[in-house]
Structure 1
Amino acid sequence: MRTVGITTNLRVDDIAAAEGFWAGYLGLRQQEFSLGWVARYTDPDTGAHVQLVTRDATAPVDSALTVKTDDVDAAFAEAQAAGYEIVHPLTTEPWGVRRFFVRAPDGTVVNIAQHRG
């Protein structure tokens, strides 16, 4: 699998309430998207970012991080061949991301995603 980016997913109770800290105090701004249950705050100059999640909209569990790849289908096949637990099946989500969740041997749930152009 080729990793092209990694984003930390932080669990928060309320994205709007958390915005003051992340966007105000830390200087990140909501640049890329907000779907209500997930929002990414980014520093436009450095690219530093964090993704806040209240509860994943379609998966049965929340992921600790999102790993972006350029071939999610191949990454899914590799995860299956390695015998890793698939927590959320390979899915094209309504918001245009194709993804699946896999559990690392230490128990960490990882969202493997490819953004479709």
Structure 2
Amino acid sequence: MKITSSAVTLNVADVPASSSFLVEHFGFTEDMAADGFASLSRPDTGMNVVFLRRGLSTLPDHQRDTHVSGTALAFVVDDVEGELARLEREGVSIAMPLTPEEWGERAFQVLDPNGVIIQLLDWNASTAS
């Protein structure tokens, strides 16, 4: 098998709201969009983020009415404190404060307008307890 690209697909109620949030606050580009669909990318993520509107008839019956739940878009960043400060300045509500974990990860989370969890983190093992 040769994988040529990767994407994560998330079902949400309001595709334009989630798409706009990633564009405005995280520098993604909306590559394709149609009614109930948007595909976004950044050259440095190695994957696309795809939003699908709940209820689309093209989705299988068992997925059609589900909403993304328990899934986080996690992005490792160089300056987690700087990103936290920037998002706070932009008025983005912080859902989980910057939290250090015993294994060295430090992370915080925000929610997009559809409740999609976006986690920014770094691996700073030198601060681990």
Name which one, 1 or 2, has greater alpha-carbon Rg.
2
TM-score band w.r.t. shorter chain: 0.3 to 0.5
For normalisation by structure 1, the TM-score amounts to: 0.44
**TM, length-normalised to structure 2:** 0.41
Higher strand share: 1
